[in-house]
Amino acid sequence: MRVLIIFNLSILLTVLITVVNGNSPNKIFGGNFVDINQYAFQVSVQIRNYHICGGAIISIYHIMTAASCALHSKNVFYGNIKIISGTTDLEALTSYSKIHQVAYIIFHSQYDPRNNWVNDIAIFKVDKPMDFHYLCRPIAVSTEPPKDNKFTAIGWGIDPVTSIMSRLLQSLKVRSLHRPSCRQIYTHPAYHFLQSSQHCLLPLLPTSRLTMGNSGSPVVVAKRIVGIISSLQVTAELQPAIYTRVHLYSRWIEDTVHL
C-alpha cells in the first residue's frame, strides 16, 4: 500500500522562515551561464519573491523538487510558495515568464529530515495548467539507473565569497559517486549514513562548486532527470553534495501525477 501525504496550501498558515535556517540547501556556483530555452523544464521555487529552490516541470500541473523545499520537518512547513517558469534571469521576467501558485504539496511519506533527509522528494501541483511553449516544457523522469556517472546540474547559484545570488541560470557538469566510494573518500559524518536512494555529487572542474542555499535543482542526462539535489547540509569546501536518485521513485511519481 502506498501512502501519499498531501497539503492544500489554501488552508495552511505561513511558517516564519527564521525557524528553518538550520538547514541550508545547495546551490550552483562557477558553472556556465545558460538560457532557459536549453533547460525549459527548470523553474524557480520562491517564497515572498525570494528564490529558495530549484525544480523541474514533469507534467502540465506538476513540479518535482526536494521535500525540504517545502518542509523543515514533518510538522513545520512553508506557505505562500509560488513557481516561476520560463525565465533565465530571476530579476528580469519577460512575457514568457509565468508565475504559478502552488495548490498542493505531495511529499514522500517516508521523508525524514532527521535521518540525513532521506526520501527528500516532493511534487508540487499548481492551481492551473501550465501553458507549454519553447521556454516552458516538461522533462522525462528516468525509470532506470543511468549508465554513466557524468551529469549536468542546473540552477541559480550564490557566490560563496560575496553571498550574492546569481540572477542568471547556470549549468554545471558533475559526476556521481556511489555510497561506498563517497564514504571511503570523504570523512564528514553525514556521508556514513547515506541510504541507497542517496549518492554523492561532485563538480568535474575543481574551480566549480555546489554552494549552500538551494535544494531541489534537477540533475539531468540525455534529456531525462536522474536526480534532485538534496538539502543535506555539508559546509566544508570541496565536499560533495547529496542527491536523490529519482528512478527509485518512478512508480511513486507516476502514481502521484495521476491523482
The predicted-structure confidence for 122-149, as pLDDT tens digits, reads as follows: 999 999 999 999 999 999 999 999 999 9
- pLDDT for position 145: 94
- pLDDT for position 236: 55
Please indicate whether the domains covering 4-22+40-138+249-257 and 140-247 agree at the CATH topology level: yes
User: Which residues neighbour 128 within 8 Å (Cβ) at sequence distance 6 or greater?
Assistant: 100, 101
- pLDDT for position 25: 43
- Is 242 exposed, middle or buried (CB count within 10 Å of its CB: 0-12, 13-18, 19+)? buried
User: The C-alpha cell of 58 is what?
Assistant: 514533469
Question: Where are the chain's structural domains?
Answer: 4-22+40-138+249-257, 140-247
CATH number of 4-22+40-138+249-257: 2.40.10.10
- pTM, two decimals, is 0.86
CATH number of 140-247: 2.40.10.10
- Give pLDDT < 50 ranges for the chain: 1-3, 9-26, 213
- pLDDT for position 259: 81
Report how far residue 130's alpha carbon sits from residue 127's, in angstroms, rounded to the nearest whole number: 9
Answer yes or no: are the C-beta atoms of 197 and 115 closer than 8 Å.
Answer: no
Residue 143: C-alpha distances to residues 16, 230, 250, 251, 254 (Å)? 37, 19, 6, 8, 10
- pLDDT for position 19: 28
- pLDDT for position 235: 52
- pLDDT for position 5: 55
